[in-house]
Amino acid sequence: MSGRWLSIIGIGEDGRAGLSSAANALIDAAELIVGGERHLALVGETRGVKMQWRTPLEATGQEIIERRGTPVAVLVSGDPFWFGAGVTLARTIPVEEMLVVPAPSSFSLAASRLGWPLQDTVTLGLNMRGLTPLLRRHVHHRRRILALALNCGTPGEIAGLLTAAGYGPSKITVLEALGGPRERIRSATAEAFALSDINPLNVIGIDVVAGPAAQPIPFVAGLPDAYFESDGQLTKREVRAVTLSSLQPCPGELLWDVGAGSGSVGIEWLLAHPANRAIALERDEARAARAARNAVALGVPHYDVRKGSAPDALKGLLSPDAIFIGCGTADRDLIEACWNALKPGGRIVVNSVTLESEVALLSAYDAHGGTLTRLSVERAEPLGKRLTWRPALPIIHWASNKPGAEI
């Protein structure tokens, strides 16, 4: 096709034998063939020069762009645009210059082996370091999950994660080297997982079964307080649910979590949608470390926790779509600095527990409008052999939207 100098070709473990005649012709015509070590070995001898991907992929992408106008073939696993290198290349190369020839993805092959309806199955790419905790948010009784592994250790990491969260009876199926002569499929429960000699090229199928101590992460705000490691600096469940409803998280938005404490609000902001981002500021080093641990334990390891004091630590940060000030002692200068940094159309929420910060909230309300709400929560707790109501400190909750939504 005229102008399409870059071919992106999906290849399976069966090598060139599994490719169409058109895909083989593109490889034969290419002056440069780019791929991973395994991909380059699968195509055998070629007329064109072979080049292995370097890390990061963007670096190799620049070398590919320098060949613009000459035939280049890039080899990827399965579908180039499903957790594939095609996504990276499309950031800098127009799709009009590409000819994409996909092959069955690892997920398609795995679903066909297991007999699972792919449209009803959660699919995750855990094939980069540090991403295994992302699985946690998707673990629910009777759900099915397919995950691309980083290496041979990923299935064992997943087994440990499931067991720690109370899902030890879940069935883990490890599907290795799918579509090739070394294909192998083995299963074990998470709590008894002992599979060894696992091929680094594997997909993990998880049939989730909740044990009696399972801790699901629901799809609404207000996780149990016990889910968070805390020294007491925690926005309690009932107040947190109201806070998230005022922050109104939408896909792809950025939150500033100022005075993060245990990180509960920022973590639940991230749980609202996988594309969401959050920057947490916490001046206490032990609390910042605790918030980061909570984020990993609850499946949002990308929670960006930074040690620092606002407003000084706000300088240079990306402009947020929403801001939560949860330190309980916010002053007018901090509130104004946050309001000025907020994008047009953004939301700000401040929770106050002191009289001094209540004065600051009244001033902010006069200047910027919004709503002021006093939240009082009482929980039934033992009094001797009986129960009584124990009130928590009342919270003054200010929420406001900045005028002028961005286009």
Task: Say how many CA atoms lie within 13 Å of 210 toward its Cβ.
Answer: 13
Tokens of 117: 């309806």
pTM of this structure: 0.88
- pLDDT (tens digit, 9 = 90+) per residue, 331-366? 899 999 999 999 999 999 999 998 988 999 999 999
CA distance 259 to 27: 55
**CATH T-level fold of 225-401:** Rossmann fold (3.40.50)
Equal fold, 107-207 vs 225-401: no
Domain ranges of the chain: 6-103, 107-207, 225-401
Phi, psi dihedral angles at 323 (to 5 degrees): -135, 135
Burial state string for 186-209 with b = 16 or more CB within 10 A and e = fewer than 16: eeebbeebebeebbebbbbbbbbb
Task: Give pLDDT, residue 361.
Answer: 94
Residues of the chain with pLDDT below 70 are 1-2, 328, 405-407
Task: Give pLDDT, residue 71.
Answer: 95
60 close to 51: Cβ distance less than 8 angstroms: yes
Count of helix runs (H) and strand runs (E) in the chain = 11, 19
- pLDDT (tens digit, 9 = 90+) per residue, 144-165? 999 999 999 999 999 999 999 9
Angular region, 166: left φ>0, alpha ψ -120 to 50, beta rest: left
Task: Give pLDDT, residue 2.
Answer: 65
Task: Give pLDDT, residue 372.
Answer: 96
**CATH T-level fold of 6-103:** Cobalt-precorrin-4 Transmethylase; domain 1 (3.40.1010)
Task: Give pLDDT, residue 407.
Answer: 40
Task: Give pLDDT, residue 330.
Answer: 75
**CATH T-level fold of 107-207:** 3.30.950
CA distance 331 to 171: 52
Tokens of 343: 């994008």
Task: Give pLDDT, residue 405.
Answer: 59
* DSSP one-letter code for 343: P
